[in-house]
Structure 1
Amino acid sequence: MSAVPQSASSPTETFTAGAKIPLKMKAWVYEDFGDVNVLRLDETVSVPEIRDDQVLIKVIAAALNPVDYKRRQGWFKATDSPFPIVPGYDVAGVVVKVGSKVKILKEGDEVYGDINEAGLNNPKQFGSLAEYTAVEEKLLAIKPANFDFPSAAGLPLAIETAYEGLERAGFSSGKSILVLGGAGGVGSHAIQLAKHVYGASKVAATSSTGKLELLKSLGADFAIDYTKENFEELPEKFDVVYDAVGLEEKAAKAVKEDGVVVAIVGPVSPPGFFFVLTADGAYLTKLAPFLENGKIKPLNDPKSPFPFSKVVDAFIYLETGRATGKVIIFPIP
């Protein structure tokens, strides 16, 4: 397994500028919380209207994240949007309409981003698993020219979460880090960012046996097989432990006395913190040079992409917890 190659856009990914925007679209929806059986493909969903600060995107590719199935299962129903819900946070596509207060983006721009600024608080009713979605300009960035749409779709939520966590932790050149769940979406980017952007002195990461070489290819100096070793018992401790899997108590045993644990799955005691991403297209723009020069590569699961008609299968696979990197949906009609 390795990071997905960057390739040129194929003809199936293009959208003709100036094409008429329909009134109705195909979208995956659910009208109650539950397992994958609540999902259904609806061909009569209204194309969302845009606000002044938004653009309408013709969706070319999307990606699934654990938050998508946790949301569908009702984990944060108290702060969710009303039914029917079109799921999907990550998007890559083409701008086909712009609001009156949009300052930079224009029709025809190829963009990508995480469409929900506050992932757990009032996420959009109409997400990215649809032919069109409306998104605030500030949440988007221009797609790197060397990435195709499926590769770009897998980046936003994961790489932004990895980046924000490292920033909040005060990570910097010369510091060491242990990434728990290094083969996942967030973990794989935390490895690459720590190594190639921040200049970490040492990057260690955990995975199962079959993914150790992948961790090394991403930039890990030390790959730990969690099925054979207890990372918290290692004599070496780290300046930062980035916990992307929910092992907060063990993570606290692997960090230096003056270090910090970054947690994205559940609460953690000091010296650590839990956070939920505040999505920002500026993160993607800031990291663009590292994406364009190949220092940071997207990591999409080998079973990807799943076609739009197989979204249920994609969710079933993601929910096994065995995915490597991101699960991509492409093409989207």
Structure 2
Amino acid sequence: MKAMLIKNYGENAPFEASEVDQPEVKPGHVLVKIAASSVNTVDTMIRKMGKDLPLSPDAPALLGMDFAGTVEAVGEGVQNYSVGDEVYGCAGGLADLPGTLAEYIVADADLIAHKAKNLSMKEAAALPLVAITAYEGLVRAGIQAGQKVLVHGGSGGVGHVALQLAKHFGADVYSTGGGDKQLALIEKLGATGINYKTESVEQYVAKHTGGAGFDVVFDSVGGANLTNSFEAAALNGQVATTVSMCELDLTPAHFKGLSLHVVFMLIPMLHNHKRSEHGDILRKLTEIAESGALTPILDETNFSLEEAGEAYARLESGKAMGKVVIEN
């Protein structure tokens, strides 16, 4: 089969079109013909950092985690899938799991679900990593109807899904963005937009919560921005983040009695730990999407499998709005 391989890691490491053996289905897995795959920040980090990241596969590497496609063969012991089923998931591209920048993938049946009937293959491929991340963070933060929820980075990959899910759960949702296009998308998706460049945390907390703070803060920016999340959170509030590889003074969190939830959704893939929970979440996401409450936003660009390098560059440019997707 055709695959795009990285022979050597590094800044702008080239993807090389290669012919590799088509993988064979094995027990507990399904063989999927991939229709589309999406690019995530972690994919670009692996390409750039290689073995400096403990989750990177050995080179030559077949990257890509998210996919949507059609089942072509079903392994022994797999109950819920048949040949011809349209599925989606996040199931490769790290450690010893071959990725999605290819024509086929053999995916653990626990890491996939049937795709939503009202989503295209490209839309379905945009969801798994970011939507599982958003869902896990909000659920671990104990989101409830009627709460005030702040999403940092609501026009980004994880953020634009988190604010839709928070709305689905019945919350009153607010979200930060840094420009007119970002804020327009946030408002279109049903949240109240906050321009973090023109409003201080103190100002928007006063404006939207009467100074009490937000019950849940979902921080898809993380790092140094976590201090803003602590400032924005209510007393005994909940903060979920996807980026916490940093040194930080937790004193503000202490004096407000905050709970911090770190979401690292790659753990089931990396450690073969509770993988079926990802399948369960994906099935719930399919229901939410089919109810009309979750629509992934796709960047305006189009890329073929051979243009994987350009797709990665598009995400890294910071100019993408929504998810960058490759048509396999």
Q: Same fold (TM over 0.5)?
A: yes
What are the within-5 Å matches in structure 2 for residues 217-232 of structure 1?
217-220=188-191, 222-231=192-201
Deviation at 1:154, TM superposition (A): 0.4
Pairing of 1:44-193 with structure 2 (within 5 A)? 44-74=19-49, 77-116=53-92, 122=95, 124=97, 126-193=98-165
Q: Which residue of 1 aligns with 2:271?
A: none
Q: Specify which structure has the higher proportion of helix.
A: 2
For the aligned residues, what is the CA RMSD? 1.8
- The residue matched to 1:73 in structure 2 has which SS? helix
Q: TM-score, normalization: structure 1?
A: 0.85
SS of equivalent residue, structure 1 residue 204: strand
* Cα shift readout 1:191-243 (whole Å, capped 9, x = no counterpart): 001112x100x2110112222121111120x2011222223543231011111
Query: Which secondary structure state, in structure 2, belongs to the residue aligned with residue 71 of structure 1?
Result: helix
Structure 1 residues 263 and 232: alpha-carbon distance in aligned structure 2, compared to 1, 3 A threshold: farther
> Which ranges in structure 2 are unaligned for 5 or more consecutive residues?
269-277
Contact 2:13 2:48 survives alignment (8 Å): no
Aligned pairs (5 A) from 1:204-219: 204-209=174-179, 210-219=181-190
CA distance in 2, matches of 1:162, 1:79: 21
Partner of 1:18: none
Residue-by-residue CA offset, 1:46-104 (whole Å, 9 max, x unaligned)? 11233311111111111000010111122653343322211101100011111112111
1:328 equivalent in alignment to 2:325: yes
Structure 1 residues without counterparts, runs of 5 or longer:
1-24
Structure 2 equivalent of residue 273 of structure 1: 261
Distance 1:89 1:321 in 2: 20
Question: Is 2:170 the partner of 1:199?
Answer: yes
Q: Confirm or deny: 8 A CA contact 2:217 2:229 kept in the other structure.
A: yes
- What SS is found at the alignment partner of 2:13? helix
Classify 1:106/1:208 alpha carbon distance in 2 versus 1 (closer, same or farther; 3 Å).
same
Q: Structure 2 vs 1, CA of residues 56 and 130 (structure 1 numbering), >3 Å: closer, same or farther?
A: same
Indicate the larger mover: 49-58 or 74-83.
74-83
| Aligned mates of 2:201, 2:104 — CA distance in 1 | 44
Contact 1:224 1:231 in 2 (8 A): no
Quote the Cα distance in structure 1 between the aligned partners of 2:33 and 2:229: 41
How far apart, CA to CA, are the structure 2 residues paired with 1:40 and 1:229? 45
SS in structure 2 at match of 1:101: coil
Instruction: Provide the rounded CA distance (Å) in 2 between the counterparts of 1:38 and 1:290.
Output: 38
* Contact map agreement 1:243 1:261 (CA 8 A) in 2: yes
CA distance in 2, matches of 1:262, 1:322: 25
Please give the alpha-carbon distance, in whole angstroms, between the structure 2 residues aligned to 1:79 and 1:65: 14
* Residue aligned with 1:245, SS: coil
Please list, as runs of the form range in 1=range in 2, the aligned pairs for 1:253-292 lying within 5 A after superposition.
253-267=231-245, 269=250, 270=253, 271=258, 272-277=260-265, 278=267, 280-292=278-290
1:323 CA displacement: 1.6
Structure 1 Cα separation of the partners of residues 26 and 56 of structure 2: 20
Whether the 8 Å contact between 1:233 and 1:254 is mirrored in structure 2 is: no
User: What percent of counterpart residues are identical?
Assistant: 38
* 1:205 maps to amino acid: S
Structure 2 Cα separation of the partners of residues 313 and 80 of structure 1: 21
**For the Cα contact (< 8 Å) 1:255–1:261, is it kept in 2?**
yes
Count of aligned pairs: 298
